[in-house]
Structure 1
Amino acid sequence: MKIREVNENKKQFISLLLLADEQESMVDRYLEKGTMYVLEDNDVKAECVVTAEGNGILEIKNIAVDPKYHGMGYGKMLIDFLANKYAKEYSILQVGTGDSPLTIPFYEKCGFVRSHKIPNFFTDNYNNPIYEGGVQLIDMIYLQRRL
């Protein structure tokens, strides 16, 4: 297994990116300014994009695991990789997500705690309603993990 940084042609991973953020124009907002990593285990199993947000905060803008490999620990491996790699540069690893029964428990298992929310983020910024786990995503929920 290997995690590597991707510096060119990040859009080659658009199908994975769109699993975590289903509107391409929103992905475009952070893709080029962010640092992208892919986790390979024979082939690409997962990806993530992080950005520096100031005040010692590193934010996960996108993290996705190929659905065929959900539940195998690849997402947690990426988060642990980020926490270890950036522990000396940043004090907080942050992620924003919808208030979904599928994602919030995953991040909490990875050591994140709820921090704050942006009301109506998904309804204000996305062209179509987004549903996850049978729930419409409305507010952006931020979770943080100390590094």
Structure 2
Amino acid sequence: MDIRKITDKKKNYIDLLLLADESENMIDEYLERGEMFILDDNGVKAECVITQEDDGVYELKNIAVLPDYWRKGYGKKLIQFLFAYCSDCSALFVGTGDCYSALSFYKNCGFKESHRVKNFFTDHYDHPMFEGGVQLVDMVYLKWEP
């Protein structure tokens, strides 16, 4: 298993990025300023993108695992990599929909709920977003601190 940084042609991974964020326009807002990593285990299985928002403050903007490889530890492996990679990190934030499976995943990785942005998904996407059969409305931010 190999995790490596992608510095150019990040859009080559758009299909994987779209698994975590259905809007290519939203992805375009952070992709070039973000740092992208892929997890290769006999082929690319997962990716993530982080941005530095302030000194020591990072945000996980996108993390996706190919559906055939869900619940095999790839997402958690990327999160653990980021904890080590961001050596100056005082806080790592991630925003997600108010969905049990996503919230549970991040909490199991050590994140704690921080705050919510009301109506984020209804205000920023041109179509209703659903996860686990539930329409996403608010963005839930979680925070990890070393």
In the TM superposition, what is the alpha-carbon distance from 1:55 to its structure 2 partner? 4.7
**Matching residue of 2:63:** 63
Moved >3 Å (runs of 4+): none
The answer for unaligned runs of 5 or more in structure 2 is: none
The answer for unaligned runs of 5 or more in structure 1 is: none
In the TM superposition, what is the alpha-carbon distance from 1:57 to its structure 2 partner? 1.3
Matched AA of 1:94: F
Asked whether 1:121 is paired with 2:120, we answer yes
How do 1:1-147 and structure 2 match up within 5 A? Answer: 1-86=1-86, 88-147=87-146
TM-score (norm 2): 0.98
Which string of whole-angstrom CA distances, capped at 9 and with x for unpartnered residues, describes residues 11-39 of structure 1?
Answer: 11101100000011000000000000000
Q: 2:60 and 2:74 mapped to 1: Cα distance?
A: 15
Matched AA of 1:122: F
Which string of whole-angstrom CA distances, capped at 9 and with x for unpartnered residues, describes residues 63-118 of structure 1?
Answer: 000001000000000000000111x3111111001101221100010000000011
Identity %: 55
Q: 1:12 and 1:26 mapped to 2: Cα distance?
A: 16
Matched AA of 1:56: G
Matched AA of 1:45: K
TM-score (norm 1): 0.97
Matched AA of 2:81: F
Q: 2:103 and 2:15 mapped to 1: Cα distance?
A: 22
Contact 1:102–1:132 at 8 Å: present in 2 too?
Answer: no
